[in-house]
Amino acid sequence: MSSNLRIDGARLVSRLTELSAIGATPEGGCRRLALSDEDRQGRDWLVGQMQALGLDVKIDAIGNIVGILKGREDGPAVILGSHIDTVGTGGRFDGALGVIAGVEVLATLRDAGLTPKRDMAVIAFTNEEGARFHPDMLGSYVWAGGMSVAAAHAELDADGAVLGTELRRIGYEGPEQPGFLPAHAYLEMHIEQGPVLESEGGGLGAVTGIQAICWLELTLKGRPSHAGTTPMAYRKDPGLAAARINIFANEVTKTIPGQLANCGVIRVQPANVNVVPETVVMTLDLRNPSDAALAEAEAAVRAYCADLVARDGIEIAFRDLARFPATPFAEELIAGMEQSAAELGLPIRRMISGAGHDAQMMSRLCPTAMVFIPSIGGLSHNPAEFSTDEDMAAGANVLLGAAWRVANA
Please give the Cα distance from 364 to 325 (Å, whole number).
Answer: 11
Residue numbers 228-267 binding ligand HGY by CB under 6 A: none
Residue numbers 338-357 binding ligand HGY by CB under 6 A: 355-356
Which residues sit opposite 316 in a β-bridge? 220
Please give the Cα distance from 161 to 35 (Å, whole number).
Answer: 10
Residue numbers 287-316 binding ligand HGY by CB under 6 A: none
Residue range at the interface with ligand HGY (CB under 6 A); choices 15-23, 51-59, 128-136, 335-343: 128-136
Query: Within a 10 A sphere around the Cβ of 373, how many other Cβ atoms?
Result: 26
Residue numbers 77-116 binding Mn ion by CB under 5 A: 94-95
Residue numbers 154-193 binding Mn ion by CB under 5 A: none
**Nearest distance from C-beta of residue 128 to Mn ion, angstroms:** 6
Nearer to Mn ion, 92 or 235 (CB): 92
**Nearest distance from C-beta of residue 87 to Mn ion, angstroms:** 6
Residue range at the interface with ligand HGY (CB under 6 A); choices 124-132, 169-177, 236-244, 310-318: 124-132
Nearer to Mn ion, 89 or 225 (CB): 89
**Nearest distance from C-beta of residue 239 to ligand HGY, angstroms:** 26
Nearer to Mn ion, 94 or 198 (CB): 94
Q: Are 398 and 204 in contact (CB under 8 A)?
A: yes
**Nearest distance from C-beta of residue 25 to Mn ion, angstroms:** 15
Which residues sit opposite 262 in a β-bridge? 285
Spell 124-147 as b/e; 16+ CB within 10 A means b: bbbbbbbbbbbbbbbbbbbbbebb
Judged by CB under 5 A, does residue 383 bind Mn ion?
no
Give the one entry of Mn ion, ligand HGY, none that residue 95 binds, where binding means its C-beta sits below a cut-off of 5 to 8 angstroms depending on kind.
Mn ion
Q: Are 131 and 137 in contact (CB under 8 A)?
A: no
Nearer to Mn ion, 23 or 238 (CB): 23
Judged by CB under 5 A, does residue 367 bind Mn ion?
no
**Nearest distance from C-beta of residue 22 to ligand HGY, angstroms:** 19
Judged by CB under 6 A, does residue 136 bind ligand HGY?
yes
Nearer to ligand HGY, 119 or 128 (CB): 128
**Nearest distance from C-beta of residue 83 to Mn ion, angstroms:** 6
Judged by CB under 6 A, does residue 129 bind ligand HGY?
yes
**Nearest distance from C-beta of residue 58 to Mn ion, angstroms:** 22
Nearer to ligand HGY, 96 or 241 (CB): 96
**Nearest distance from C-beta of residue 166 to ligand HGY, angstroms:** 18
Nearest to 34 by CA among 193, 158, 181: 158
Give the one entry of ligand HGY, Mn ion, none that residue 130 binds, where binding means its C-beta sits below a cut-off of 5 to 8 angstroms depending on kind.
ligand HGY
Q: Are 278 and 221 in contact (CB under 8 A)?
A: yes
Residue range at the interface with ligand HGY (CB under 6 A); choices 45-53, 64-72, 127-135, 241-249: 127-135
Please give the Cα distance from 132 to 87 (Å, whole number).
Answer: 8
Judged by CB under 6 A, does residue 128 bind ligand HGY?
yes
Residue numbers 143-182 binding ligand HGY by CB under 6 A: none
Binding interface with Mn ion (CB under 5 A): 94-95
Sites of contact with ligand HGY (CB under 6 A): 128-130, 136, 355-356
